[in-house]
Amino acid sequence: MIEVRGISKRYRDVMAVDGLSFDVRPGVVTGFLGPNGAGKTTTMRVILGLDAPASGDALVLGVRYAALPAPMRAVGALLDSGAAHPGRTARDHLVCLADSNGIGRRRVDEVLGLAGLSSVAGRRAGTFSLGMRQRLGIAAALLGDPAVLIFDEPVNGLDPEGILWIRTLMRDLAAEGRTVLVSSHLMGEMALTADHLVMIGRGRLIADTSVEDVLRAREVHVRTPEARRFAHALTAMGAAVRQDGEELTIAGVTPEEVGRLAADESVVLHELTPRRTSLEDAFMELTRADVEFGAAR
Amino acid sequence: MTATTGRDLTSVVARGRARFRDVLRSEWSKARTLRSTWIALVALVLVGVLLTALFAGAAGQDHGGSDEAAHPFDWVFRGFVIVQLVAGYFGARAVTVEYATGTMGGSLTAAPRRGRVLAAKAAVYAAMALVAGWVAAVTMFLTARAVLAAKGLPFFALTDPGVARALAGVGLHMALTSLFGLAIGLLVRTTTGSVTVLFLVSLLIPALSSLFPAWLATFAVKYFPTTAGGRLVSLNEGPALLPPWAGFAVFCAYIAVLLTAALVVFRRRDA
């Protein structure tokens, strides 16, 4: 359980976070979505007590982070790709962190195994690939077997196998009843990983909604020579359909459901196109503005 | 929802509480698992031995030494002024390495009470510098005796007045200087910046003191941090100088003020 209560944070003349409030519930993966520079990392740093907010408060399990009796046993975090000193071995890196919370050596070896790093535990972190460093950071987050997990852009720079591993891990952690907050600037990644979305732009909350609602709000555009028959079938399924000659605009069902129905009803389709929702449009608009801003600089 | 929050926290509390000794153990692990820690400590001893050999080798010649080094013991042990630079660098490393490698965020996430982190670092690094300083003192003493004996010159015995205190003082001075470096490191956050400050404070300013106006020069010789602290490692005496333990106390006071300033900044600053 994480409660963010109206936090604001300014860096010189940039308002990084501006009166942001949201809750992160246990048992689901909450995606923290926003373009680069939207304030995701800052918000996470405030939750972890690394940066002090100008106003507002962030509570983890009902208290401020610094008040947690054994922080790593409550919260596991991956920030800055879990930076490790390049001269320290993977195992020593974890031992240093484990010691600070009275976590034993056996647990260190356990998380090395969980992260698939047992065979390289004695290697210096400086020799690790980005993917291995990411795994080491996640091993560190898991050290205290925490109830809350916070991952900042965990799939950045990972190969497909690594992305799949992290995605599965996050879903498993949430299924065990843990609170999982994971940030990303990619809508597609979040649609696959998260159950719930907290979307921010320029430090402000844009949406706090379930992923399913976002996807269900999509319109599907279909072109078929059997438009009339298909429209009836779709309406019978509960979809809202608008017909214009051979073209149908469908709302209230997912593209997958439309495709399956077409197969079941043996309807020939010439085109099936999901259309972005207003929420996705809003996000794309933000991302685009961000890119333009970056290019103009 | 509140009930869930409460239960979660209760179960977390039931699973243990991080204590100061855990943070202390973590800092010790951090220090001992870096090769550079041991290289710095070996360098501290080696620099001491080499400089002592040089100064002892030059003993008996007309070196035109200044008044403060007039005592033969001080002359031979003069190298400790450079050794203290290594000790200061060693202490600064305790934090600058974490800033340089981006691991400070992780450290403070694991141990968010920053006063504790600073106290643990201070304890671990001062203890290591203390032991290294004592090892340096003994090896410097033996080196000086060997070199002087080879030249047929007399040297002090451990039982001579002040000698044991001066040798013990090398360790104490190095421990304090490492804390000086630690405080500077926290304030400056880069290794090069810290070493520059240490160099200015412990070498350049004392060396230039003869160019200062008289009142400032008197102050610099008597109360400047490193010269006051160095009184413990000196057998010189005189009205212009503080007694050994008084000088040491003055140095301690400087360190206390600096560490307090560093703590205030460390607590307030975003990690």
- Per-residue pLDDT, B14: 64
Q: Do A96 and B29 make contact, defined as CB atoms within 8 angstroms?
A: yes
Residues 6+ apart with CB under 8 A from B233: B77, B80, B166, B169, B170, B173
Rounded to whole angstroms, what are the CA distances from B31 to A219, B16, B58, B155, B166? 59, 25, 37, 37, 28
Of A174, A161, A263, the C-alpha closest to A211 is A174
Is the confidence at residue A185, as pLDDT, over 90?
no
SS3 A133: helix
Q: What is the DSSP letter of A65?
A: G
How confident is residue A286, by pLDDT bands cut at 50, 70 and 90?
A: low
Measure CA of the first residue to CA of the last residue in chain B; give whole Å: 31
Interface pTM (ipTM) of the complex?
0.89
- Per-residue pLDDT, A192: 85
Q: Do B270 and A45 make contact, defined as CB atoms within 8 angstroms?
A: yes
SS3 A110: helix
B152 in contact with A, Cβ within 8 Å: no
- Per-residue pLDDT, A186: 83
pLDDT digits (tens, 9 = 90+) for B56-72: 998 866 555 444 446 88
How confident is residue A287, by pLDDT bands cut at 50, 70 and 90?
A: low
Rounded to whole angstroms, what are the CA distances from B122 to A151, A264, B28, B95? 31, 73, 11, 10
B3 in contact with A, Cβ within 8 Å: no
Q: What is the DSSP letter of A194?
A: -
- Per-residue pLDDT, B10: 62
How confident is residue A292, by pLDDT bands cut at 50, 70 and 90?
A: very low
Residues 100-129 of B with CB under 8 A from A: 101-103, 105-113
- Per-residue pLDDT, B75: 86
- Per-residue pLDDT, A283: 73
- Per-residue pLDDT, B67: 47
How confident is residue A51, by pLDDT bands cut at 50, 70 and 90?
A: very high
Q: What is the DSSP letter of A174?
A: H
Per CB-CB distance under 8 Å, the chain A contacts of B107 are: 97, 100
Is the confidence at residue A254, as pLDDT, over 80?
yes
Q: Do B103 and A50 make contact, defined as CB atoms within 8 angstroms?
A: no
Q: Cα distance from A70 to chain B (closest Cα, Å)?
A: 5
What is the rounded distance in angstroms from the CA atom of residue B225 to the CA atom of residue B239? 18
Measure CA of the first residue to CA of the last residue in chain A; give whole Å: 39
What one-letter code names the amino acid at A207? A
Are A41 and A47 in contact, with CB atoms under 8 Å apart? no
Q: What is the DSSP letter of A140?
A: H
What percent of chain A lies above the pLDDT cut of 70? Answer: 94
How confident is residue A157, by pLDDT bands cut at 50, 70 and 90?
A: confident
SS3 A86: coil
A1 in contact with B, Cβ within 8 Å: yes
- Per-residue pLDDT, B11: 65
Phi and psi of A277, rounded to 5°? -85, 175
Tell me which residues of chain B have a pLDDT lower than 70. Answer: 1-14, 60-70
Is the confidence at residue A15, as pLDDT, over 80?
yes
Instruction: Say which of A50, A83, A147 has its CB closest to residue B8.
Output: A147
Q: Cα distance from B202 to chain A (closest Cα, Å)?
A: 30
Paired tokens of B89: 């660098």
Residues 6+ apart with CB under 8 A from B91: B125, B126, B129, B177, B178, B179, B180, B181, B182, B185
- Per-residue pLDDT, A251: 85
- Per-residue pLDDT, A189: 83
What is the rounded distance in angstroms from the CA atom of residue B108 to the CA atom of residue A50? 7
**Residues present in chain A in total:** 297
- Per-residue pLDDT, A278: 66
Q: Do B29 and A99 make contact, defined as CB atoms within 8 angstroms?
A: yes
Choice between A75 and B236, residue whose per-residue pLDDT is larger: A75
Q: Do B109 and A50 make contact, defined as CB atoms within 8 angstroms?
A: yes
Average pLDDT over residues A130-155: 94
